[in-house]
Structure 1
Amino acid sequence: MDSALIDAYRNTDYRVRLSQGGWASIRIDAPVPEPLRALIGLHGWAFITAWNPFSQVLPRPQNRAAQQALLGALRRLAATPTICPAMGVGRDWREPSFFVVGPTLAETDALVQQFRQNAYVHGLADGYARLRLTSDEPPRGQAG
């Protein structure tokens, strides 16, 4: 994965739809926004999508079908997570996403790899948002 793509992920605005209306924006290497802290509590969380596998643009119908399959997979996790609609907003693109509270890092890694994503955003409790790379090529894990 090249550094330009990692930079694009780092500069994305990861927006979570709030139940009372509006959005909360997550930024890489920044604390979780206040409106999300009560929802997260002491749990891990992730911001994930199934759109545009390996950052290759696909037709909208294929992306929608993949996103629905991801939602189904999230709902089948052992400990049913809290799932909120979300949107990744980059400089020239938008991707419908999910903000999920509760899945383990291993569960999220497996789902993100299943849906062929290069990376996702995650965190523990109300700590900092981190970019996690899922490629089999170095660097793997946290993006430095």
Structure 2
Amino acid sequence: MRQLDQERLLGAYRTTRYVIRPHGSTDGVEQVLRVGRLHPALDAALAARGHREWAFMTAWNPGSRPRGKDENQRAQERLVSQLIAGGWVVAPAIGEAEDGSWSEQSLFVPGLPRAEAERFGRAHGQVAVLVGRTGGPAELLLCGNEAPPAAP
């Protein structure tokens, strides 16, 4: 991937709104996460449940290549099944562009360690996942899957 394309893609990830739908792990309130920012309300909800780490991920559009809705939904169902089989709680979420031009169904996984988040992201072809620890900023974690070069 050309450096400019990668920088553009990572820039899009950095401006994305990572929205956790109301769920028991978030005290029943919607939480909006942003790369590089602290999220004290989420930290408090997670700490009350004994969680110190979390991940926000999807199986949609591996390698940042658009796929059809049905294919994306099947991939997402596989990811949900794998997480649940591993004993993880999953909360519904959505990643959306600031301007609303695109969105992807996503998952919030309280307690999921960075290494596991990277493993799941890599297994599902993701370029990056969002991770965090209580008291720290949300950060992009690259999964080792490159996005395709932009069309000429």
Q: TM-score range by the shorter chain?
A: 0.7 to 0.9
RMSD of aligned alpha carbons: 1.7
Q: Which moved more, 1:127-136 or 1:48-57?
A: 127-136
Aligned length: 134
2: CA distance, partners of 1:48 / 1:63: 13
The one-letter amino acid of 2:31's match is: A
Deviations 1:20-59 (A, max 9, x none): 665211000000251x223321421000000000000000
Relative to 1, partners in 2 of residues 1:22 and 1:38: Cα closer, same or farther, differing over 3 Å? closer
Greater strand fraction, Structure 1 or Structure 2: 1
2: CA distance, partners of 1:84 / 1:76: 15
TM-score computed with the length of structure 2 as normaliser: 0.81
Structure with higher Rg: it is: 2
Deviations 1:83-105 (A, max 9, x none): 11000001421000001011222
Relative to 1, partners in 2 of residues 1:136 and 1:50: Cα closer, same or farther, differing over 3 Å? closer
Which consecutive unaligned segments of at least 5 residues does structure 1 have? 138-144
- 1:31 aligned to 2:38? yes
Identity of paired residues, percent?
34
Which consecutive unaligned segments of at least 5 residues does structure 2 have? 147-152
2: CA distance, partners of 1:103 / 1:30: 19
What are the within-5 Å matches in structure 2 for residues 118-137 of structure 1? 118-135=127-144
TM-score computed with the length of structure 1 as normaliser: 0.85
- Runs of 4+ off more than 4 Å: none
For residue 63 of structure 1, what is the aligned residue in structure 2? 72
